[in-house]
Amino acid sequence: MKLPIIAVASLIPILGFLPSCKEKGPAETTGEKIDEAVEEVKDAVDPKGPLEKAGEKVDEALDN
């Protein structure tokens, strides 16, 4: 019973630092462009199904 309480208590300080940076830096922007290019190549080789495409659209809508 104590283990979950300790785990949650140890994660709280870490979670405080996650949303601290609002603006994306140049390295993050470049990394995202590379990720998108890799995804496009993967999609050309192994096309996604309709449910996977719908899920990605939902993810994109929630990110924006």
Q: Each residue of 1-60: pLDDT tens digit?
A: 556 777 666 766 666 666 566 778 889 899 999 999 998 888 888 888 899 889 989 998
Answer whether residue 18 is part of any domain.
no
Residues 6 or more apart whose CB falls under 8 angstroms from that of 32 comprise 24
Domain count, the chain: 1
- Tell me the residue type at 34: I
Q: How confident is the model at residue 20, as a pLDDT?
A: 60
Q: How confident is the model at residue 53, as a pLDDT?
A: 87
* DSSP summary character for residue 19: G
Whether the model pTM is above 0.75: no
- Assigned token pair, 53: 């495409």
Q: How confident is the model at residue 35, as a pLDDT?
A: 92
Answer whether residue 38 is part of any domain.
yes
How many angstroms separate the Cα of 60 from the Cα of each of 39, 54, 55, 56? 14, 10, 9, 6
Answer whether residue 43 is part of any domain.
yes
Answer whether residue 40 is part of any domain.
yes
What domain range includes position 64?
28-64
